[in-house]
Amino acid sequence: MRDTEHPTLAGQELIQRLAVRVREARKLRGLPRRVLSEMSGVSPRYLAQLEAGEGNISVILLQRVAQALDVKIEMLLSERPPWDREVERVATLFAKAPQDIQRQVYATLTRQSPTAQRAGRICLIGLRGAGKSTLGKLAGAALGLPFVELNKEIEAASEMPIAEVMALYGQEGYREMEAEALARVTERLDRMILAVAGGVVADPATYARLLQQFHTIWVYTSPSEYMQRVRAQGDVRPMEGNPAAMTQLKNLLDTRTPLYERADAQINTSNRPVKASLEDLLKIIHKRHFLDVPTA
């Protein structure tokens, strides 16, 4: 029995390793899955399954993916990631370089302070129904800044609604796409107002990047208003057939509040008209100098 199990286990390990290699190679090149699909001729859904380690792939299709990623096919199959070797090579070159070169490299890598990285970028966090999208759109118009909803970025990249993304890739797959979308908008825009899904704080790496690269503002309201606003948006799922929904919401708030409190500022929109909450938001932005670029 053991002899017959080994090939299966080895095959599963290979598929999982291949999934990681393709996913990381795509991220290194900054390619959305849709673009990789166009370049390789492999469908987005097939690529999604490949990156999730959920299916086999023919050698011919894998070769197309490798060519589109500009890597050798054996690098995707190697037990050791090729970029590990590149990091080691760069580290070796740095260690052998003269001290003046080392100082220049170090200064280049660390020249931006956290405040400078966040300048001009504002992110609204909090549960759905708090008012992030409404306030973000209005504040963007008032300040002349682009307003971006991260979930819409994910939908555009995956070419499917968030509900389908969750159904196809699950929570883990969605979180990966969320991290990729955050990296793309950060690279694309130096100044913006961003609204993110309430669960972004549950991913330590993505939330850490968010706190580092954005001035964050927690937008919140009372549990009853969360429910009312979500229902007003046409989504009855939180309450329909679920009498314990309010208890679950309160438990979720209790769990996430310590994470939301790490934000730079807070806005309570409970029992306040949109205009008043917008004024609160604009006051915070101006008072805290979130749009000012620090001088050297």
Domains of the chain: 2-77 (1.10.260.40), 114-287 (3.40.50.300)
At 244 the pLDDT is 74
Contact 179, 252 (CB under 8 A): no
At 294 the pLDDT is 62
DSSP one-letter code for 52: T
Tokens for 106? 């170090």
At 17 the pLDDT is 80
Maximum separation of any 2 CA atoms in the chain, in Å: 70
219-230: pLDDT as tens digits:
999 888 887 877
Contact 193, 134 (CB under 8 A): no
Tokens for 145? 């800044």
Residues of the chain with pLDDT under 70: 1-11, 55-57, 78-89, 91-92, 99, 103, 106-116, 233-243, 294-296
- CA nearest neighbour of 227 among 248, 240, 246: 246
At 265 the pLDDT is 96
At 45 the pLDDT is 80
At 108 the pLDDT is 64
At 211 the pLDDT is 92
From the centroid of its chain, how far is CA 260? 16
At 114 the pLDDT is 61
